[in-house]
């Protein structure tokens, strides 16, 4: 396991738990990769809604306020529109 301080703002934390192969009992590798797929949307939305609950983000805030320069037309797209998939952003999977 490699670990650097998450407070420094640099580096990467990696950790593993469990087994990657039930038949052999091989441990999960910390440098391994896996496809997370659509499940990341749920975790992202939950985190954003927690920040809304804490008053740190507003659902009607423009995305540009929190992620400057990340999205085209971010000043005209709200956090709410990102969460409910009505922002009009191009869907890379289609």
38 is catalytic: yes
**Cα-Cα-Cα-Cα dihedral sign, residues 4, 7, 10, 16:** positive
Find, among 89, 90, 57, 61, the residue nearest to 75 by Cα: 61
Which entry of 5, 8, 17, 38 is annotated as an active-site residue? 38
Rounded Cα distance, 49 and 47, in Å: 5
**Is residue 60 left, alpha or beta, with left meaning phi > 0 and alpha meaning psi from -120 to 50?**
alpha
Catalytic residues: 38
């Amino acid at each position: 396991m490699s670990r650097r301080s998450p407070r420094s703002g640099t580096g990467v934390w990696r950790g593993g738990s469990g087994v990657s192969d039930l038949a052999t009992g091989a441990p999960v590798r910390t440098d391994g990769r896996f496809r997370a797929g659509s499940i990341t949307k749920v975790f992202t939305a939950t985190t954003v809604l927690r920040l809304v609950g804490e008053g740190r983000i507003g659902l009607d805030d423009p995305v540009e306020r929190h992620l400057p320069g990340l999205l085209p037309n971010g000043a005209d797209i709200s956090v709410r529109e990102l969460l409910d998939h009505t922002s009009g952003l191009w869907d890379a999977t289609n």
